[in-house]
Chains A and B, each alone.
Chain A
Amino acid sequence: MFDTTYHRAASVADAAETAAKADDAAYLSGGQTLLPTMKQRLASPSDLVDLSQIAEMQGISVAGDTVTIGAGTPHADVAGSTDVQNAIPALAALAGNIGDPAVRARGTLGGSIANNDPAADYPAACLGLNATIVTNTRELAAADFFEGLFETALEEGEIVTAVRFPVPSRAAYAKFPNPASRYAMAGVMVAQTGDGVRVAVTGAGNDGVFRHEAMEAALGTNWSADALADVSTDADDMLSDMHGSAEYRAHLVGVMAKRAVESA
């Protein structure tokens, strides 16, 4: 690990200012991705600006048809929140299935979506539930936030402060875990939202999380697993690696989508 200077930010403004002044700062949330990367000497930020103690980035609130989750909220809190469990059970279940207990205790919603790992679970929740990503400078629709493998619309120094999830009439998430990492090899969020049926797929696509329009169309006319029987997923758009071929992933997307619809 390289030398780095640690700062504990007291507020979002303080964090942005501290980062702007540093040579090459990185925001630290749960550290579940950033710290191992630093230990392996693959990242060497001059300064670490810790967001985890910022009160305004913590916590969960439900107002009307919207669940707002602070970006600094750990996965375990989302999974354990009765508010989330009541309003969007699919989201609580998704959070409760990320990594292991230690990861869930530290890893955060903001860290997860800022990192935008193509196999991470939260991106599917944000895109599938039509969430709004709130940053210190603006608000973005999830569809505009995720831009491919590990790429997001975040500008230099921009901080995700919260995510707003509209409550769907129903939704479910089904995940087929990678046997080694237990990240998603195919994770599918299906939802009936004010905006119609949405299907978001993570883990499988070769360009990160994506909406499955053919499935959305099929489920839009007939919300049932059977409606997906004839919907295929193009293997050309899928990842292929030592854990599974593109064909296998394309197939898994179909199986996970059906299972999600059945349990929604």
Chain B
Amino acid sequence: MTEGIGARVLRKEDKRFITGKGKYTDDIKMENQAYAAFVRSPHAHAKVTGINADAAKAMPGVEAVLTGPELVADEIGNIICGWAVSSKDGSPMNMGAWSALATDTVRYVGDAVAVVIADSIAEAEAAAEAVEVSYEELPVVVGSVKALADGAPQIHENAPNNMIFDWEIGEEAATDAALAGAAHVTKLDIVNNRLSPNAMEPRAAIATYDEAEEHYTLYTTSQNPHVARLVLSAFYNVAPENKLRVIAPDVGGGFGSKIYIYPEEIVCLWASMKTNRSVKWTSTRAEAFLTDAHGRDHVTTATMGFDAGGKIVGLKVDTKANLGAYMSLFSSATPTYLYATLLSGQYNIENVYCNVKAVYTNTVPVDAYRGAGRPEASYVMERLMETAAREMGMSPADLRLKNFITEFPHQTPVIMAYDSGDFAANQKQAMEAADYAGFEARREEAAKRGKLRGIGFSNYIEACGIAPSAAVGSLGAGVGLWESAEVRVNAVGTIEILTGSHSHGQGHETTFAQVVADRFDLPLDGISVVHGDTDKVQMGMGTYGSRSGAVGMSAIVKALDKVEAKVKKLAAHTLEASEDDIVIEGGAVKVAGTDKQMLWHEVGLAAYLAHNLPEGMEPGLKEGAFYDPTNFTFPAGCYICEVEVDPDTGTTEIVQFVASDDFGTIVNPMIVEGQVHGGIGQGIGQALLEGVVYDDAGQLLSGSYMDYTMPRASDLPSFSVHHQSTVCPGNPMGMKGCGEAGAIGSPPAVINAITDAIGNNDLSMPATPSKVWAAIQAANAATAAE
């Protein structure tokens, strides 16, 4: 078996991607297709006092100009947040109304007020400019701390002081008491910077209404087409599910930003019915910066207490999470159940308490972005640990070692029950790979060259495959978080796997096929993966939260179990043997210890011919399964970053980045390494380069690549990636998930390394040269003053 589990198989999907033959939403062309251009608010907060579209409607090529009141008249529902999080006093969250086209108020720059449908993009854009919207400007607030202050502008009537919820987890009194009795207390003010997701393919949609069938088809850039259909149907009243087909064809990256159902998709569907034309919209990069859900944006104060021996006795965290102008689909879960539940880190901590205030501001909505809550948690934990080690004069490795959880299962004080891990083994592997012992010599050598060299750790843990459905339901989730699969063995023996997971860069067409190839000892060529179409795949929850391995593949395994049982039964019947003696190997189904066998395709044929089936067996060879996990999975690892800072300019060069990850079972090491590389690249982007900036008036200053720094290859080192795995006991293949770990684990390692190099711990992300230089100046001034 060279193509099964553990093989470095080249990605099957890459031929079409690399040769430009991928089929993305924007590549799809319909007969009679028209284009949508949105009229967007130039103000961050304003009353819409009037819309005059007369001139626009008279322009060449214009089919229609549609506005919010018409959308409401057609009973298109408001956009919802699908996870109910209550405040600590039990009151429900304050969800403000979000209409796909604003009715009376706009709340961020880019908020859509009207749409023009025209024969060409140019005509649609020209007419959009001609739509006259009158605004009455309102006061604006962009930061979460200011938005909570008394007298701040009110963004939604039903959210006094812009507070969406005031949530807590853990025992506050016990944590306070533990901190009061601590021998050492480390306190940090932390900002987790706001990020723009920047998938390579911008969002796009093309909607077609079939008048005769009263049926809609939507092609769109979605990470979860079934969820999109469910929400569009159940909440936005676009059409009943049986009259709505959603297809997410090739999708060029998502990072979370394509989980959500945005105004534009809804409007394209609605407009296709209004105009009886296919309506297409492809976001420009400028629109993407303005309207794609941003990530992170936490302002946090964290306090960690230690006993005299360096054991953690308690952790108290206070976070203000900026959710932007409206609540996006999973915005409430990200800064709560995906964040605070990881605040025990890899450590044995008896007392953890976290308070999270979620806040409206006049900025684009904020939701899950690669890592979703866990990068925020690991940043808090690992900045604290490194800072505490420095303050207590301990080695950062030893302090962690002293506090690692070593026995599993382990119940943390913040919901999570870790099932497996060997944190010390990951740390040891990373330290050896990084030649940690040789660091001081390297630091001295760098100093001779005028460079400040530093090293930083990050021992992250995260939670993937949000689960089980009943548990997340009890925490407020509006969906179940299982996955489905169907394995279809054709009459000639080839196999199709239908999965509710969605691949938008993860390589499922390869790895999912490897699982099947491994099980039946078959070549990969004859195995195909079908996904992304609600008419083809039964149902599914899509891909995010690194769930496709742990949950999606587990569903496939369950379906494979059923196929295998049927194959064995059929072969035993045909070969007149006992089922227990049947083995599947080398492309055949054999009776062990004899030369009796059926070739694999003969079994498929026999199942479909149905001329000679065992008593009671149905014809055909196709099995489906739904898999609901029993627990989250817990990837973990140790990252070590080593930097050199140029004190003259503040420029940071990452000279070494080592990762030791525990992902459980690995299906394709090459693809996993790619995921880790990409994740660390994004994490380094957050740590050094990327940051969304709004001015006080709510105008987006970082609205293009001239000002928003995307990581380039030359910003990144060559990564040293290692694995040190424990098997996950919670799912059939022992998988933990690898899609986000890099982005979760890396930012604190980078900042810990820079602050070590420059001798000033007061440094926020992104650590741009100008900030690092200023921090060096401050450190020098402090030394001079001593």
Give A contacts to B, CB under 8 Å. Answer: 1-3, 40-41, 176, 179-181, 183, 242-245, 248, 251-252, 255
Residues 660-714 of B contacting A (Cβ, < 8 Å): 689, 693, 701-702, 705-710
CB contacts (< 8 Å) of A252 on chain B: these are: 649
Among candidates A40, A179, A251, residue contacting B689 with C-beta atoms closer than 8 Å: A179
Taking the nearest CB of chain A, how far is it from the CB of B42, in angstroms?
A: 14
B129 touches A41 (CB 8 A): yes
In the complex, whether B334 has a CB less than 8 A from a CB of chain A is: no
Among candidates A183, A242, A244, residue contacting B702 with C-beta atoms closer than 8 Å: A242
CB contacts (< 8 Å) of B769 on chain A: these are: 176, 179, 244
Among candidates A1, A41, A181, residue contacting B707 with C-beta atoms closer than 8 Å: A181
In the complex, whether B774 has a CB less than 8 A from a CB of chain A is: yes
Name 20 interchain pairs, CB-CB below 8 A, sorted by A: A3-B122, A41-B125, A176-B649, A176-B769, A179-B709, A179-B768, A180-B708, A180-B710, A183-B706, A242-B693, A242-B701, A242-B702, A242-B707, A243-B768, A244-B768, A244-B769, A245-B770, A245-B774, A248-B773, A251-B773
Interface size on B, residues (CB 8 A): 23
CB contacts (< 8 Å) of B286 on chain A: these are: 40
A181 touches B770 (CB 8 A): no
A180 touches B705 (CB 8 A): yes
CB contacts (< 8 Å) of A242 on chain B: these are: 693, 701-702, 707
In the complex, whether B648 has a CB less than 8 A from a CB of chain A is: yes
A248 touches B707 (CB 8 A): no
Q: How far is the CA of A255 from the CA of B648 in the complex (A)?
A: 7
Q: How far is the CA of A248 from the CA of B286 in the complex (A)?
A: 29
Q: How far is the CA of A255 from the CA of B769 in the complex (A)?
A: 13
Residues 232-288 of B contacting A (Cβ, < 8 Å): 286
A181 touches B774 (CB 8 A): no
* 20 additional contacts (CB under 8 A) given A181-B707, A243-B770, A248-B770: A1-B122, A40-B286, A41-B129, A176-B649, A179-B689, A179-B769, A180-B706, A180-B707, A180-B708, A180-B709, A180-B710, A183-B706, A242-B702, A242-B707, A244-B768, A244-B770, A245-B774, A248-B650, A248-B773, A255-B649
Residues 124-152 of B contacting A (Cβ, < 8 Å): 125-126, 129
CB contacts (< 8 Å) of A40 on chain B: these are: 286
CB contacts (< 8 Å) of B774 on chain A: these are: 245, 248
A176 to chain B: closest residue by CB: B649
Q: How far is the CA of A14 from the CA of B474 in the complex (A)?
A: 76
Taking the nearest CB of chain B, how far is it from the CB of A37, in angstroms?
A: 12
Q: How far is the CA of A41 from the CA of B130 in the complex (A)?
A: 13
CB contacts (< 8 Å) of B706 on chain A: these are: 180-181, 183
CB contacts (< 8 Å) of B702 on chain A: these are: 242
Taking the nearest CB of chain A, how far is it from the CB of B551, in angstroms?
A: 37
CB contacts (< 8 Å) of B125 on chain A: these are: 41
Q: How far is the CA of A180 from the CA of B770 in the complex (A)?
A: 13
B707 touches A243 (CB 8 A): yes
CB contacts (< 8 Å) of A251 on chain B: these are: 773
Q: How far is the CA of A2 from the CA of B60 in the complex (A)?
A: 13
- Most chain-A CB neighbours within 10 Å: which of B126, B705, B706, B708? B706
Residues 423-465 of B contacting A (Cβ, < 8 Å): none
Taking the nearest CB of chain A, how far is it from the CB of B160, in angstroms?
A: 32
Taking the nearest CB of chain B, how far is it from the CB of A239, in angstroms?
A: 12
Q: How far is the CA of A3 from the CA of B770 in the complex (A)?
A: 42
Per-position contact with A for B60-72: 1 when CB-CB < 8 Å, else 0? 0000000000000
CB contacts (< 8 Å) of A255 on chain B: these are: 648-649
Taking the nearest CB of chain B, how far is it from the CB of A252, in angstroms?
A: 7
Q: How far is the CA of A181 from the CA of B769 in the complex (A)?
A: 14
Q: How far is the CA of A41 from the CA of B122 in the complex (A)?
A: 10
- Most chain-A CB neighbours within 10 Å: which of B693, B707, B708? B707
CB contacts (< 8 Å) of B770 on chain A: these are: 243-245, 248
Q: How far is the CA of A251 from the CA of B648 in the complex (A)?
A: 9
CB contacts (< 8 Å) of A245 on chain B: these are: 770, 774
